């Protein structure tokens, strides 16, 4: 893994730091950075650079970075915008290894700023300098041999195993605060700013190889190189969980994100496809990011979805149980033997079913005994311990009891000590034992549910590249190469799809009603008649599709009806003829599509046909190339999947064949970049073993 | 309103309190209650009752409540379970006005405990005593002439306008804590326990009439009298918002709720129907309950969904915008004029579109000027102000600036000061101005979205009872009275539905294939053939429905196919014949249903037909009797409603007719309690003006 990774040691493990734009005026950025470096005990020398001052905050200062008599690993630049480039050139001359540019006013303001950012990046790359920023908060490392706080944030986080990267400086400030408040130990923190050089991918690679880092947290507004991110994240998540907030998921938020970062942001559907491919744990808010980190930093990933809820109060137990079901966990009834064992420790009014309600009189000893029984049982995979301090029980002792039961159990334990007055005493014992505690049962349960899904991801084998048989990609390329930009002709569609082994309902175009009737008789009734028009793409919206035509009279009537509907809208001349197809009886109607996202690349879509896709939004997307695993997950991910799986006594549909079809579309997308869009709608999925058939197909050709 | 309301003055405005089971041993419930009463300054005398002690915590004690020489308004009982009844009898002799029973071991443990609870309730009712509990935490009032803390909770909340009732004592403790922590002023707090006498409805009525109360918060596990709750809540929410957590929404949570409270709990679908009818603001967690209270206690309800996001940092602005769209608010682009006015105060790098990103240099003066401009504009209905403290800006001044802009604007303002170090200074100025502030932008936006929905509820006129014409309920009753329990015969269904004016597709039963063909010819092709069987209820699951039969040959073939399918499963003798109906062409397939919830009463269901209802869960429920408003909301509430509203160029469907049909079903449910279930599936909704027709109907008759 290391061969392709950037050397970020000058940024995150520097042995000396220069602060250019250092200041004696407290409250300025240049002053706060020097202060943070000194106060938080940077392990090497700090060299303030200031044009005139001889000392900055009592540290010997130099007028220019080139004047510093010793080598400089890292230069932190916080000068005026128009001074950044000259200063960076001086750094290059000096031979610094890394630069962090705090100063704003570059790509995010466009125009001249963007041009200057390009120049800055080129300069750094030419000299082999790693560049973080510009327009950022700075970087932190709690590495004991480094202890670097090169930020102007007011908080230095506790040391630990959680690496944090933020594309927003403001949220970076908040994150360092939360880490301190929740006592979540941080390994490194990087405010990435405009990501002119060092990217999220570079950091991911660095943390993958960093022995101190156990969890990676990301706040992202865009992915610079999504393809590389997917490859990297797929590998990293097998070892270390990655938790991310991807902001800009709404149309309007996207707008704000682009104006904010000046980067091309992707639609949320592509982001979700990327997440689904990688095992990344996606959360919605910064709060949930840290909720997750508190768990993953020390607790094992659950081996299943079965949760025991242990509580000394009914209400919170119900809330936790409601939340568990809402988030997809099970709260199973416990077996008789286990219930009897629990009951032996509890009063008659307690409930041992699950949630296990020990009632308000529960003692620390009861907490411990019940938690031990539950954790030892093979009926559950994780324990949620809830505690509302009644007046007579000491929260610290309860915390200790839970911690003792958890120790060495190998199963995750998570807790919620409700109400302010129980928290401080209880929390300290829990924190010492690394048992995460949340203010509300719902937060605890949500964390556990996400961890359980991550565990399932880990247990499934990684996807493998699969090429279905009977694909002639050269023939497909030939069809595409020969076609002009625009919608592919019906014959072209047929040729392209058969080249890649996608079965399409046979069909021939008739120019007159008589010709249609003749074709229908030749192919056998019933048939379907479909408008052929270069200009009208949504045929059914203009009454252009007639199904189940059982004899010639039906065909003539259908032709009249299509022509009449167009004529009444003044569209008569748009009818070039009609396609006659044998009607495919039975099967489940689905939709298969291909679209290309400008940042994320080709996306394969799958959903149920008709109104389900449009109104119910029951459609999923995955990034091409698909693997056997992602194809299988795409098919099984829609709400309507039971329809394909033997719904209400109907025979199971040919799921293998639809998976293969998705892989064919994926391979086509990769082989032929000019296939901009493809719509197979409907695709009929027949009974198991009988295959699939695309009844209607549209393909748009365009320059990639 | 007051005529039907319980007099809760002895409970919540007592002039004297006896504590029976008082104790000198700190840490016992009997000691903590006396201490809370005394320390928090109860305005009248406290009379501890103890068999032997002459003074409890330095207050003169009495051996028996009857020995107290003065009148006693409220008796708080915290004795052993087996002493509660004798003590309550003594209270009745003494003539107390209200009793709060803290002691547990009654209905919640079943058996003897439940019997004793009934006896306790009867005793109190016979003597006109209001009873709270048993099995509760106690009651609080911050009324300045009362100042009552008759609980054993460690926290006395600040005084204010938020009334709180909790069905869980444990969560009650947590709630009092949160109120103190978030500085949310409470009027009264009642831990309802087993609700043996004083119910949530009684409290709602009391708080409706209480001038100090402006918002009501409820934590509920069950509704004692849902019908009365709906009536009450409908009235109260017009004046004072009610916010509720209803726990036990999952199947498993319900189980825990019943075992916990011993009460009959309802399925969540009925609860949601009740919520939809009342304007109640339902939230998922206790955290959200207080988030909502912080807003509603002082901020006006927004007049629309258009929100301006004002921020000094891009990232939080994007998160707020994402959340706004997710929760159904708009973040509209601002008009050119308003943008120009904002730009006049801001640097070039700022964004004025919305979110308005003033960038990190934003001063308090800029916050104030921009907030004023936004609040004065008729382009927005509410303002979300986000602030991440950079080092040079004073959070307290920013708080003041936002508060000044908000004052007198008449529009809601809500804020989020991110990161710990900005909060304390900023929060105090915001709190003083009653501007709620949240730790995360998502929480702020969620609160605003719920408030906006509540505002829309208030602006719509209340529903009116409507009886569609052409209903002969006497005739309907006659059909039902004559029918035995079980599924109603096809003829019975036809008679019942036509009595209430529900159009059903004509049809006649054939006993042989020949008879079917003859009937088909008589009524005209195409027809539908449906299995008739008393024993097989899901006809389509056994291949018992054949549609679009166009000539006699089709009818014979269909008959053979149905009979053959049954024979192959060994069900041949279950076929009593087949129903022949003219095929209804066109129209949108919907489902209309009636079911009865044991606690909540009749529920009318509406959804799209087929797979949408079952797999997509696209179905809504409302409690009967429906009003014009609830019928309209039921139809418009499903995701598939666009299909009825002129989808993709099809003509709009007859929404008026489907609303009328729902009102007919509702009237039938009310008039005929033995109609236990009714299924009209499908109901075809034809083009506007052409009505609806039920194609298939099932009615089950059972004792109510």
CATH of the domain at A315: 3.40.50.261
Pair B32, B61 in one domain: yes
The span from the CA of B287 to the CA of A446, in Å, is: 14
Residue B272 has pLDDT above 90, yes or no: no
Is residue A263 within 8 A of residue A274, CB to CB? The reply is no
Pair A530, A498 in one domain: no
Pair A157, A254 in one domain: yes
**Which of the residues B174, B308, B525, B536 would you substitute to probe the A interface, choosing the one with the greatest number of A C-beta atoms within 10 Å?**
B174
- Report the range of poorest mean pLDDT among A507-511, B36-40, B206-210, B352-356: A507-511
Q: How many CA atoms lie within 13 A of A652 on its CB side?
A: 8
Pair B485, B620 in one domain: yes
Identify which of A613, A605, A608, A683 has the alpha carbon closest to the alpha carbon of residue A640. Answer: A608
Q: How far is B109 from chain A (nearest CA, A)?
A: 6
Residue with tokens 């009525």: B205
Residue B158 has pLDDT above 90, yes or no: yes
Confidence label for B2 from pLDDT (cuts 50, 70 and 90): very low
pLDDT at A592: 93
If you average pLDDT over residues A125-130, what whole number do you get? 97
The mean pLDDT of chain B is 90
DSSP class of residue A62 equals B
Q: How far is A312 from chain B (nearest CA, A)?
A: 9
Give per-residue pLDDT as tens, A75-123.
Answer: 999 999 999 999 999 999 999 999 999 999 899 888 899 999 999 999 9
Q: Among the three residues B534, B564, B582, which one is the final residue of a domain in this structure?
A: B582
pLDDT at A2: 42
Identify which of A314, A631, A324, A615 has the alpha carbon closest to the alpha carbon of residue A463. Answer: A631
Pair A412, A284 in one domain: no
Give per-residue pLDDT as tens, A352-364.
Answer: 999 999 988 899 9
pLDDT at B569: 85
Report the b/e string of B113-127 with b at 16+ CB within 10 A.
Answer: beebbeebbebbeeb
Confidence label for A260 from pLDDT (cuts 50, 70 and 90): very low
Of A32, A253, A442, the CB nearest to B391: A32
Residue A259 has pLDDT above 50, yes or no: no
List Cβ neighbours of A530 (8 Å cut-off, separation of 6 or more): A507, A539, A544, A545, A546, A578, A579, A581, A696
B292 versus B508: the higher-pLDDT residue is B292
Q: How far is A260 from chain B (nearest CA, A)?
A: 6
Report in angstroms the alpha-carbon separations of A348 from A344, B133, B136: 9, 21, 19
If you average pLDDT over residues B459-475, what whole number do you get? 92
pLDDT at A696: 86
CB contact under 8 A, B155 and A420: yes
Of B108, B256, B608, the CB nearest to A318: B256
Give per-residue pLDDT as tens, B200-238.
Answer: 999 999 999 999 999 999 999 888 888 899 999 999 999
**CB–CB contacts below 8 A, A to B:** 274
Pair B622, B482 in one domain: yes
Pair B430, B575 in one domain: no
CB contact under 8 A, B170 and A251: no
Give per-residue pLDDT as tens, A673-683.
Answer: 999 999 998 89
Nearest chain B residue to A261, by CA: B314
Dihedral sign (CA B583, B586, B587, B589): positive
CB contact under 8 A, A351 and B316: no
CB contact under 8 A, A325 and B389: no
CB contact under 8 A, B421 and A616: no
Q: How far is B604 from chain A (nearest CA, A)?
A: 22
Question: Which residues of B fall within a CB distance of 8 Å from A643?
Answer: 611, 615
* Residue B97 in tokens: 């006005």
What radius of gyration, in Å, describes the C-alpha atoms of chain A?
31
Nearest chain A residue to B171, by CA: A315
Residue B426 has pLDDT above 70, yes or no: no
pLDDT at A267: 61
Q: Among the three residues B564, B582, B600, which one is the final residue of a domain in this structure?
A: B582
Give per-residue pLDDT as tens, A13-59.
Answer: 999 999 999 999 988 899 999 999 999 999 999 999 999 999 999 99
Report in angstroms the alpha-carbon separations of A31 from A54, A177, A593: 14, 20, 56
Pair B386, B453 in one domain: yes
- Report the range of poorest mean pLDDT among A619-628, B491-500, B601-610: B601-610
If you average pLDDT over residues A133-139, what whole number do you get? 95
Percentage above 70 pLDDT, chain A: 94
Q: How far is A314 from chain B (nearest CA, A)?
A: 6
Nearest chain B residue to A419, by CA: B174
Q: How many domains does chain B have?
A: 4
Question: Which residues of B fall within a CB distance of 8 Å from A390?
Answer: 170, 173
The mean pLDDT of chain A is 90
Element (H, E) at A52: none
CB contact under 8 A, A418 and B171: yes
pLDDT at A266: 41
Q: Among the three residues A526, A561, A583, which one is the final residue of a domain in this structure?
A: A583
Please list the helix, strand and coil fractions of chain A in percent, rounded to the nearest 5, in that order.
40, 20, 35
Highest mean pLDDT among A67-71, B277-281, B435-439: A67-71
Q: How far is B419 from chain A (nearest CA, A)?
A: 4
If you average pLDDT over residues A553-579, what whole number do you get? 89
Pair A527, A575 in one domain: yes
**Which of the residues A108, A173, A272, A437 would you substitute to probe the B interface, choosing the one with the greatest number of B C-beta atoms within 10 Å?**
A173
CB contact under 8 A, A353 and B259: yes
Residue A139 has pLDDT above 90, yes or no: yes
Task: At A348, give phi and psi (nearest 5°).
Answer: -60, -35
List Cβ neighbours of A119 (8 Å cut-off, separation of 6 or more): A85
If you average pLDDT over residues A252-257, what whole number do you get? 60
Q: How far is B493 from chain A (nearest CA, A)?
A: 26
Residue A263 has pLDDT above 60, yes or no: no
Is residue A132 within 8 A of residue A26, CB to CB? The reply is no
Give per-residue pLDDT as tens, A420-459.
Answer: 554 566 677 788 888 999 888 999 999 999 999 999 999 9
CB contact under 8 A, A169 and B316: no
Give per-residue pLDDT as tens, B516-533.
Answer: 999 999 988 999 999 988
If you average pLDDT over residues A617-626, what whole number do you get? 89
Confidence label for B630 from pLDDT (cuts 50, 70 and 90): very high
Q: How far is B643 from chain A (nearest CA, A)?
A: 8
CB contact under 8 A, A318 and B439: no
Give per-residue pLDDT as tens, A463-474.
Answer: 898 989 999 999
pLDDT at A433: 83
DSSP class of residue A536 equals -
Pair A13, A121 in one domain: yes
pLDDT at A571: 85
Question: Which residues of B fall within a CB distance of 8 Å from A167?
Answer: 315
Question: Which residues of B fall within a CB distance of 8 Å from A252?
Answer: 321, 324-325, 331
Residue B253 has pLDDT above 80, yes or no: no
Is residue A400 within 8 A of residue A387, CB to CB? The reply is no
Confidence label for A170 from pLDDT (cuts 50, 70 and 90): confident
The residue range of the domain holding B436 is 300-459
Pair A496, A510 in one domain: no
CATH of the domain at A495: 3.30.470.20
Task: At A590, give phi and psi (nearest 5°).
Answer: -130, 170
If you average pLDDT over residues A270-298, what whole number do you get? 91
pLDDT at A177: 87
Percentage above 90 pLDDT, chain A: 65
**Which of the residues B103, B314, B423, B638 would you substitute to probe the A interface, choosing the one with the greatest number of A C-beta atoms within 10 Å?**
B314
The span from the CA of A265 to the CA of B226, in Å, is: 49
Residue B259 has pLDDT above 70, yes or no: no
Pair B440, B343 in one domain: yes
Q: How many CA atoms lie within 13 A of A374 on its CB side?
A: 37
């Amino acid at each position: 893994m290391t061969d392709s990774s950037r050397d970020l040691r000058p940024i995150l493990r520097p042995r000396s730091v220069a602060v250019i734009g250092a200041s004696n005026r407290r409250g300025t950025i240049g002053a706060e950075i020097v202060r943070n470096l000194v106060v938080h005990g940077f392990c090497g020398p700090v060299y303030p650079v200031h044009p005139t001052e001889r000392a900055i905050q009592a540290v010997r200062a130099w007028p220019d970075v080139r004047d510093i008599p010793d080598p400089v690993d890292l230069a932190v630049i916080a000068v005026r915008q128009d001074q950044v480039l000259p200063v960076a050139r001086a750094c290059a001359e000096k031979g610094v290894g890394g630069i962090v540019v705090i100063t704003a006013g570059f790509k995010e303001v466009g125009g001249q700023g963007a041009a200057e950012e390009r120049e800055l990046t080129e300069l750094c790359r030419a000299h082999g300098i790693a560049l973080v920023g510009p327009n950022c908060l700075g970087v932190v490392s709690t590495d004991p041999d480094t202890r670097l706080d090169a930020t102007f944030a007011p908080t230095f986080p506790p040391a630990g195993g959680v690496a944090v990267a933020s594309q927003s400086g403001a949220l970076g400030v908040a994150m360092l605060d939360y880490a301190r408040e929740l006592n979540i130990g941080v390994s490194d923190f990087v405010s990435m700013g405009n990501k002119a050089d060092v990217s999220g991918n570079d950091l991911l690679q660095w943390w993958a190889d960093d022995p101190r880092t156990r969890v990676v947290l990301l706040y992202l507004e865009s992915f610079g190189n999504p393809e590389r991110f997917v490859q990297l994240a797929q590998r990293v998540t097998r070892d270390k969980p990655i938790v991310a907030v991807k902001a800009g998921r709404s149309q309007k938020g996207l707008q704000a994100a682009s104006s904010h970062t000046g980067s091309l942001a992707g639609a949320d559907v592509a982001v979700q496809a990327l997440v689904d491919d990688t095992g990344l744990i996606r959360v919605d808010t910064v709060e949930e990011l840290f909720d997750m980190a508190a768990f993953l930093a020390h607790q094992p990933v659950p081996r299943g979805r079965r949760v025991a809820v242990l509580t000394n109060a009914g209400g919170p137990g119900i809330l936790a149980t409601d939340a568990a079901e809402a988030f997809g966990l099970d709260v199973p009834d416990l077996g008789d033997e286990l219930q009897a064992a629990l009951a032996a420790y509890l009063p008659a009014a307690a409930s041992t079913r699950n949630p296990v309600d020990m009632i308000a009189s529960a003692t620390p000893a009861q907490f411990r005994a019940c938690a031990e029984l539950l954790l030892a049982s093979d009926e559950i995979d994780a324990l949620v311990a809830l505690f509302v301090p009644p007046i007579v029980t000491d929260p610290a002792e309860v915390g200790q009891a839970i911690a003792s039961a958890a120790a060495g159990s190998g199963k995750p334990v998570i807790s919620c000590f409700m109400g302010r007055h129980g928290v401080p005493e209880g929390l300290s014992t829990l924190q010492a034992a690394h048992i995460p505690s949340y203010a509300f049962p719902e937060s605890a349960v949500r964390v556990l549910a996400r961890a359980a899904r991550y565990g399932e991801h880990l247990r499934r084998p990684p996807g493998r590249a699969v090429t279905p048989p009977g694909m002639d990609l050269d023939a497909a390329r030939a069809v595409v190469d020969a076609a002009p930009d625009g919608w592919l002709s019906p014959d072209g569609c047929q040729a392209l799809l058969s080249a890649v082994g996608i079965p399409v309902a046979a069909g021939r175009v008739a120019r007159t009603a008589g010709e249609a009737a003749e074709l229908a008789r030749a192919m056998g009734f019933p048939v379907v008649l479909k408008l052929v028009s270069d200009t009208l793409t949504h045929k059914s919206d203009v009454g252009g599709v007639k199904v189940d035509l059982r004899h010639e009279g039906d065909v003539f009537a259908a032709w009249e009806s299509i022509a009449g509907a167009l004529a009444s809208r003044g569209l008569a001349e748009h009818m070039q003829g009609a396609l006659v197809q044998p009607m495919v009886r039975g099967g489940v109607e689905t939709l298969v599509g291909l679209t290309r996202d400008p940042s994320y690349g080709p996306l394969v879509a799958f959903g149920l046909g008709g109104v389900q896709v449009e109104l119910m939004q029951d459609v999923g997307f995955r990034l091409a190339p698909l693997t056997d695993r992602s194809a299988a997950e795409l098919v099984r991910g829609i709400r309507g999947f039971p329809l394909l799986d033997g719904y209400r006594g109907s025979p199971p549909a040919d799921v293998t064949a639809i998976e293969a079809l998705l892989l064919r579309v994926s391979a086509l997308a990769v082989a032929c970049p000019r296939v901009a869009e493809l719509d197979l709608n409907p695709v009929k999925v027949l009974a198991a073993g009988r295959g699939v058939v695309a009844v209607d197909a549209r393909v748009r050709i365009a320059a990639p």
